[in-house]
Amino acid sequence: MATNTNPTKPAVRALLHGQVGEIRTTFTFADVNRPMSAAFPAGAQITSTVITVTQAFNAGTTNPLTVGSTPGGSDLVAAIDSVAGTVGVKRPDTATALGRLAADTVPYISYAPTGTAPTQGSAEIVFLYVAPRA
């Protein structure tokens, strides 16, 4: 057997996959704008976003629930994708920050209703992401 050729398979203990992580939080109509409890590491790629609206947000005119990489931003979840005014599971995937994140990124949840002030609304937001390999 030749010893100067590259193996055709990776070594037995080679790590063939990145680490998968999650960031999860519950958000209510009273929270208005706040950061989530954890951040995505630089180079991470969001693979899945799930918003479960357990109690519909009930502002008089609009119920824009967004998630962004800056306060008030919507580059991770746009308002049209969260549909916070109706109960159910939403799987938004049209945000602009869907590639690898350039820097450590704290997701900020924003809720800026219009019309009559809301009196109810609750949602759980879950991000799954793949961390970069070192």
Beta strands in the chain (DSSP E): 20-28, 33-35, 45-55, 65-68, 88-90, 108-111, 122-130
Positions in the chain short of pLDDT 70: 1-18, 94, 97, 134
So what's the pLDDT on residue 22?
93
CA distance 46 to 127: 7
Q: Supply the mean pLDDT for the chain.
A: 85
So what's the pLDDT on residue 60?
86
Name the nearest CA neighbour of 36 among 75, 67, 77, 80: 67
